[in-house]
Chain A
Amino acid sequence: MSTKRNPGVEAREVHGFFVANWWLILRRLSQLGILMLFAVGPLLGVWIVKGTLASSMTFGVLPLTDPLMLLQSLVARHMPEMLGLVGAAIVLGFYLMIGGRVYCSWVCPINPVTDLAAWARRRLDIGKGWALKSQSRYWVLGGVLAASALTGTIVFELINPITMVYRSVLFGLSWGLSLVIIIFLFDLFVARDGWCGHICPVGAFYGLLNSSALVRVSARGRSRCDECMDCYAVCPEMHVIAPALKAQGEATPIILNRDCTACGRCIDVCPERVFSFTHRFDQRLDEPSPPSGADHVQLKEVA
């Protein structure tokens, strides 16, 4: 089986299941955990977070509001209450600091769906499909804001699959969930990473908050790279890797592209452990390993 169809096999053989899936497991726990913080209220009567990802209230004191939602409301000519403005400011500040697209890979409930579609797509060897440009999403975002302004409604909420999933879990099943199935099929058969990587205006918005992200992935071990291409195969935004991985000499090993969602999947699947999570100012590079005979066991002993 080619590695492209099943990236991460080598990493699993060398480092074991948990190391080769560590960040993936943490991410799934994060996505599920955040949903559970909302869901233990209606399910068990233990109220931690009320509301949905659109706007919520934690322990009756911490208001959080999706800033894109509020932006649509503003262009629809409605001035929101202080509660919503404060909530949006908190969310905005948080993601500006750690990196907006952390939302995409660690919070958004659609991520597991599109990840599953991408996985199935690789296994079925479906190929790239419809080659949308990665900046298409900004035009979608523009379209959403324009439509909000034209109609005076928060227009993306009519089809927002993210809040649709949350409402379905928290307030009862909805036909809106069929949108999620459509997205799955779109990503599976039409375009690789089509929704999250090319269309979703929420991702586009959080991408705009991602330019100053503190949490970044570094290719600090790039001298060890043996070009197995597993990281490219698994990355939902594959154009972000090359500048850091293929850079020469002292050039930064940090993946600075704002499309990077900091999902950490490249860290998992790399048998050479080239990548690691760090902050954006970390310029350290690993020493190049001896040119020959340096297998993984020896590397471990050296370390």
Chain B
Amino acid sequence: MANSEKKGGSGFDPKRRRALKDMATYCVGATAITAFLAGLGGLSRSLPAATLRPPGALPEREFQSACVRCGLCVRDCPYNTLKLAEVGDGPAIGTPYFIARSVPCEMCDNIPCVKACPTGALDHSLVKIDKARMGQAVLTGRETCLNMQGLRCDVCYRVCPLIDKAITLQMTHNARTSKHAIFEPVVHADACTGCGKCEKACVLDETAIRVLPIALAHGEQDKHYRRGWEEKNKAGKELVPGVIDLPDRMPAPPSLSKVPQ
């Protein structure tokens, strides 16, 4: 304004004061908004164990930085496996997931869901579906599994798309009858994709085999652990020369389990 007076001496300028006040209000407001949204973002980051991400999904943390929740993967899934999460479903709202016991992943060869993803939340470097790691099957119900009772259900083993690689039947002695065998379904983490067909197929009311997030199912050895026998093979010689290998003490009576050499 042309007629605004300068009050040089007092140092008080109403305009400047208002500008400073506005600035302070904005800063407080923006900080509050940031904190509110950051809090929401933090809350939404956990993924319940029963919910699985589509093939090629980045680890949950990175997934949240990539997925725009457009649902294109859901649209291109030919088996209606994938869903977008609703409030209360568990995964962050609007993100894709599936529940193996309802509709498992059919492991399409061309992986259409990954190809549809515009952001790479589903990693486009996944081109062989056998390399997918949506989770890992675990025989959680060893007490209820029919095979573990000595019966031959074998359903999880039969439906496994990677039969004899991801699930094998391991024969052990049936101590109850002492003349039959138990064929235990054993999941092998190096092959299991976590598609969930075993969980879907389990004949029990409440499934005995479940696909869990890999972090829950698999455990992880400390980064500094080395396996002596592997290191020995890598080096091609004894790592510590001159160690005398004393004979191992064998179990007294011969047993059905394999004797280590």
Q: What is the interface of chain A, defined by CB distance below 8 A to chain B?
A: 41, 50-52, 54-57, 63, 65-66, 69-70, 73, 76-81, 83-84, 87, 133, 136, 139-140, 142-144, 146-148, 150-159, 163-164, 167, 170-172, 174-176
Chain B residues with CB below 8 A from A56, complex form: 70, 72
Binary A-proximity of B34-48 (CB < 8 A = 1, otherwise 0): 111110111011000
Q: Which residue on chain A has the smallest CB distance to residue B73? A: A51
Chain B residues with CB below 8 A from A154, complex form: 64-69
Interface presence of B204 (CB below 8 A): no
Q: A150-B34, A153-B65, A172-B86 are in contact. Are A136 and B72 (CB under 8 A)?
A: no
Interface presence of B84 (CB below 8 A): yes
Q: Which residue on chain B has the smallest CB distance to residue A156? A: B37
**Are A55 and B70 in touch, CB under 8 angstroms?**
yes
CA of A148 to CA of B67, assembled, Å: 13
The interface residues of chain B, by DSSP majority, are classed as helix
Partner pick for A175 among B29, B66, B88, CB 8 A cutoff: B88
Query: What are 8 A-B pairs at a CB distance below 8 A?
Result: A51-B72, A57-B116, A65-B70, A79-B120, A139-B30, A152-B61, A163-B94, A167-B94
Q: Which residue on chain B has the smallest CB distance to residue A74? A: B65
B26, B41, B68 interface centre (most CB from chain A within 10 Å): B68
Q: A139-B26, A176-B87 are in contact. Are A54 and B68 (CB under 8 A)?
A: yes
**Are A52 and B67 in touch, CB under 8 angstroms?**
no
Contact residue range for chain B?
A: 35 or more
Q: What is the interface of chain B, defined by CB distance below 8 A to chain A?
A: 22, 26, 29-38, 40-42, 44-45, 61-62, 64-72, 74-76, 83-84, 86-88, 92-94, 116-121, 124
Chain A residues with CB below 8 A from B75, complex form: 41, 50-51
**Are B33 and A81 in touch, CB under 8 angstroms?**
no
Q: Which residue on chain B has the smallest CB distance to residue A143? A: B33
Q: A143-B31, A175-B86 are in contact. Are A81 and B117 (CB under 8 A)?
A: yes
The smallest beta-carbon distance between A246 and chain B, in angstroms, is 18
Q: Which residue on chain B has the smallest CB distance to residue A175? A: B87
Q: Which residue on chain A has the smallest CB distance to residue B88? A: A175
Top 8 nearest A-B pairs (CB, nearest first) are A143-B33, A151-B41, A76-B65, A55-B70, A147-B37, A84-B118, A81-B120, A175-B87
